[in-house]
């Protein structure tokens, strides 16, 4: 029996019956989530064919299925949630199935959460809000912040007088209130590389700032965008297993905002596989990303556009993706 079938059968309600045709019938857990009254007539059914599973509600019509070689779908994750499977069980199952599909040998069913070492910022780093006398380099960094609508009270921004860093905005990476990395973004248009960074595997930017009162977490690629909308950043265009664990551990609805490029398309597929929502906002004329939307219309506008454009259905996400990427 597959690990998926074992998990589903573990969380089926004790009051159930098996029909001669092989269906396991029980009170459907989906009806009240789909605009129907609570099922009391055992109208929900699971049938197993080999390692494949199919669920059908003969009351509200909800369907979900899984078969070997496929990842756990958004609908199947909802089914498990409605069967009262804990979020960590669902997340670990989804990640294990993904890894098995990719041919990865797993010694344990649990993906270990990453551990991050404390690191130092570049030498002579000072918090920008504490600078009393600005020279031309630190003033250039402050002016850059103004052009990007970055406020000193967003987070602790730093600047270093050291050669190689004096024309860069230093953004620390915090985890459980410790500095575990950083990125230094140039404020000069012609200076390369654009970023100098120290980043540990599996890290997610801005996790510490996710309020327990928020019902959703917005995921984007870069730290500046994350700061603008009080979300988190992957610091890249790929969702690592440990990053998925850290984000899911927040126990919030997840909204991914991809960049409009090839890497963004890959990020959409990974989001669908994880059962996360995806937002591809219609920013308006001559606006292509979060930063430009904030610069032109402000943070509340950008946040409203993101939340209003969320899709959770894989089919709707795919249809919108074609239009969004042109």
Which strand (E) or helix (H) includes residue 219? Answer: strand 216-220
Same domain for 211 and 194? no
Per-residue pLDDT, 251: 82
pLDDT in tens, 180-193: 999 999 999 888 89
Residue 7 within any structural domain of the chain: yes
Same domain for 321 and 211? yes
Long-range interactions of 319-324: CB distance < 8 A, separation 24+: 320/278, 320/280, 321/265, 321/268, 321/278, 321/280, 324/260, 324/280
Buried b (16+ CB within 10 A) or exposed e, 107-137: eeeebeebebeeeebbeebeebeeeeeeeeb
Same domain for 227 and 193? no
Same domain for 28 and 84? yes
Same domain for 307 and 226? yes
Q: What is the DSSP string of 55-119?
A: EEETTT--EEEE-TTSPPPHHHHHHHHHTT--HHHHHHHHHHHHHHHTT---SSSSPPPP-----
Mean pLDDT, the chain, whole residue set: 89
**Tokens representing residue 223 in the block:** 């730290």
Same domain for 221 and 178? no
Confidence of residue 106 (pLDDT cuts 50, 70, 90): very low
The span from the CA of 224 to the CA of 151, in Å, is 11
Same domain for 90 and 24? yes
Residue 118 within any structural domain of the chain: no
Q: What is the CATH number of the domain that holds 166?
A: 3.90.980.10
The span from the CA of 46 to the CA of 298, in Å, is 49
More confident residue, 273 or 12: 12
Residue 115 within any structural domain of the chain: no
Confidence of residue 105 (pLDDT cuts 50, 70, 90): very low
Structural domain range at position 221: 207-325
Count how many domains the chain has: 3
C-alpha separations of 260 from 6, 15, 185, 190, 237 in Å: 39, 49, 21, 23, 11
Residue 110 within any structural domain of the chain: no
Contact between 158 and 128 under an 8 Å Cβ cutoff? The reply is yes
Residue 179 within any structural domain of the chain: yes
Same domain for 262 and 245? yes
Per-residue pLDDT, 103: 62
C-alpha separations of 228 from 42, 123, 149, 220, 303 in Å: 48, 27, 8, 11, 9
The model scores a pTM over 0.85: no
Residue 120 within any structural domain of the chain: no
Q: Which of 198, 217, 241 is the last residue of a domain?
A: 198
Contact between 138 and 175 under an 8 Å Cβ cutoff? The reply is no
Residue 145 within any structural domain of the chain: yes
Residue 22 within any structural domain of the chain: yes
Q: What is the CATH number of the domain that holds 214?
A: 3.40.1360.10
Contact between 308 and 317 under an 8 Å Cβ cutoff? The reply is no
Same domain for 214 and 167? no
Same domain for 227 and 285? yes
Same domain for 224 and 321? yes
Q: Which of 198, 229, 262 is the last residue of a domain?
A: 198
Confidence of residue 102 (pLDDT cuts 50, 70, 90): low
Q: Residue 278: which of 294, 260, 291 has the closest Cα?
A: 260
Contact between 250 and 209 under an 8 Å Cβ cutoff? The reply is no
R_g of the chain, CA atoms, integer Å: 23
Same domain for 152 and 80? no
């Amino acid at each position: 029996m597959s690990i998926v079938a074992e998990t589903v059968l573990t969380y089926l309600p004790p009051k159930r019956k098996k029909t001669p045709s092989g269906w396991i019938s029980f009170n459907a857990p989906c009806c009240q989530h789909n605009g129907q009254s609570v099922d009391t007539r055992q109208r929900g059914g699971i049938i197993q064919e080999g390692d494949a599973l199919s669920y059908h509600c003969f009351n509200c019509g909800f369907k979900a299925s899984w078969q070997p070689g496929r990842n756990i779908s958004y609908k199947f994750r909802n089914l498990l949630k409605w069967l009262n499977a804990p979020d960590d069980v669902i997340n670990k199952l989804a990640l294990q199935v993904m890894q098995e599909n990719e041919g990865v040998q797993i010694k344990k069913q649990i993906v270990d959460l990453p551990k991050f070492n404390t690191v130092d910022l570049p030498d002579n780093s000072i918090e920008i809000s504490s600078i009393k006398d600005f020279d031309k380099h630190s003033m250039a960094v402050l002016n850059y912040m103004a052009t990007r609508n970055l406020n000193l009270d967003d987070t602790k921004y730093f600047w270093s007088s050291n050669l190689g860093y004096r024309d860069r905005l230093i953004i620390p990476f915090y985890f459980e209130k410790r500095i575990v990395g950083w990125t230094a973004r140039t404020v000069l248009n012609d200076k390369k590389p654009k970023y100098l960074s120290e980043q540990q595997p599996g890290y997610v930017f801005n996790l510490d700032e996710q309020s327990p009162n928020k019902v959703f977490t917005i995921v984007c690629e870069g730290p500046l965008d994350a700061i603008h909308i009080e979300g988190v950043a992957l610091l890249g265009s790929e969702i690592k297993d440990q990053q998925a664990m850290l984000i899911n551990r927040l126990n919030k609805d997840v909204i991914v905002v991809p960049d409009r490029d090839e890497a963004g398309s890959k990020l959409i597929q990974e989001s669908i596989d994880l059962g996360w929502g995806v937002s591809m906002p219609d920013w308006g004329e001559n606006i292509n990303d979060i930063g430009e939307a904030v610069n032109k219309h402000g943070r509340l506008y950008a946040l409203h556009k993101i939340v209003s454009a969320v899709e959770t259905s894989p089919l709707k996400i795919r249809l919108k993706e074609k239009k969004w990427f042109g």
